[in-house]
């Protein structure tokens, strides 16, 4: 037994090592390189800020930002919650809104002709310029921020879903007509099930816009949220706190984007189409 085992060990080690190397080689381009680059940039930033005698108000070193994250953890968390909640609310409403509008426009040619050019035209307006008006219309509370955020985030979902619903091929539509399917049946049984890949790509764009909408709303009028805290910190020249808030915003954005990606993977596996 022992004799048999003894020569086996080095070869096992050999395999492990080559396996480790191949993982390193594989992950080099995907993980190691971008992370190393970012880390190098942070180190350079730290060095310039500290040894260049730059005022922390202009450019606080990353370590100071990190310190703010730790010291003001509860304060930042307190303001992260409403921002995240309102973003989720806005995103959660723009998904069904965008999908339903797209469904309506593909279902009815009349609705398409009446609405689509107007919706596109509306999107050409610099929407951020409209943000103060939402405060006038809906006050300084959650409703105005969420409505503004929906206003800017439903569009990509609408456009992507419309494209998805219209991606059904002519021959497929001929088959549907030969089966004497109603427009409603074609929409619900063929067009919509064909659309998830499109809808998800629209959702990925929309989720980042939803956060922008909420933060802009918080800049304009709010007593809470990360947008408010950034404005507050900036006004007191606490650049390190403002940057800490921005870092948290990035994390929130990444997390939401990740959730959409994960949901997409689950749905696509369930559909098993691609």
Q: Which is nearer to another protein, 160 or 194 (CB)?
A: 194
> What are the DSSP calls for 189-231, one per residue?
IIIHHH-HHHHHHHHHHHHHHHHHHHHHHHHHS-SSSHHHHHH
Q: Residue 237 region, left (φ>0) first, then alpha (ψ -120 to 50), else beta? A: left
Residue numbers at the binding site for another protein (CB under 8 A): 169, 171-172, 174-181, 185, 189-190, 193-194, 271-274
Question: Minimum Å distance from CB 99 to another protein?
Answer: 18
- Closest separation between CB of residue 100 and another protein, Å? 21
Closer residue to another protein in complex, CB, 13/174: 174
Q: Which is nearer to another protein, 124 or 179 (CB)?
A: 179
Residue 81 main-chain phi, psi, to 5 deg: -60, -55
Minimum distance of another protein from residue 96's CB (angstroms): 21
Q: Which DSSP helix (H) or strand (E) runs through 162? A: helix 142-165
- Tokens 């900036």 belong to 234
The nearer residue to another protein, 190 or 221, going by C-beta atoms, is: 190
Q: How far is the CB of 182 from another protein (least distance, A)?
A: 9
Q: What sign results for the dihedral spanned by CA atoms 102, 103, 108, 109?
A: positive
User: Which residues, 6 or more positions from 174, have their beta carbon under 8 angstroms from its beta carbon?
Assistant: none
- Quote the least distance from Cβ 195 to another protein, whole Å: 11
Other Cβ atoms less than 10 A from the Cβ of 114: the count is: 11
- Beta-carbon-side half-sphere exposure of residue 214 (alpha carbons within 13 Å): 27
Nearer to another protein (CB atom), residue 237 or residue 273: 273
**Cβ closest to another protein, residue 115 vs residue 173:** 173
Query: In the complex, what is the shortest distance from the CB of residue 185 to another protein, in angstroms, rounded to a whole number?
Result: 6
CA nearest 202: which of 86, 85, 95? 95
């Amino acid at each position: 037994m022992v004799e048999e085992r003894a020569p086996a060990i080095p070869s096992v080690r050999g395999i492990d090592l080559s396996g480790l190397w191949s993982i390193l080689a594989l992950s080099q381009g995907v993980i190691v390189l971008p992370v190393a680059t970012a880390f190098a940039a942070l180190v350079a930033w730290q060095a310039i800020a500290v040894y260049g005698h730059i005022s922390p108000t202009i450019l606080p070193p990353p370590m100071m930002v990190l310190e703010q994250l730790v010291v003001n953890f509860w304060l930042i968390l307190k303001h992260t919650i409403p921002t995240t909640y309102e973003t989720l609310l806005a995103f959660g409403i723009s998904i069904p809104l965008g999908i339903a509008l797209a469904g309506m426009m593909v279902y009815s040619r009349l609705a398409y002709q009446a609405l689509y050019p107007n919706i596109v035209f509306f999107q050409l307006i610099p929407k951020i310029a409209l943000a103060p008006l939402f405060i006038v219309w809906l006050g300084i509370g959650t409703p105005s921020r969420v409505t503004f955020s929906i206003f800017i985030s439903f569009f990509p979902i609408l456009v992507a879903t419309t494209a998805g619903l219209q991606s059904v091929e002519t021959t497929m539509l001929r088959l549907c007509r030969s089966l004497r399917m109603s427009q409603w049946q074609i929409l619900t049984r063929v067009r919509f099930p064909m659309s998830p890949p499109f809808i998800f790509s629209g959702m990925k764009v929309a989720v980042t816009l939803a956060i922008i909408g909420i933060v802009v709303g918080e800049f304009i009028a709010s007593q809470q949220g990360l947008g408010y805290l950034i404005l507050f910190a900036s006004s007191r020249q606490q650049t390190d706190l403002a940057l800490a808030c921005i870092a948290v915003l990035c994390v929130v954005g990444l997390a939401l984007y990740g959730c959409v990606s994960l949901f997409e993977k689950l749905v696509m596996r369930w559909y098993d189409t691609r």
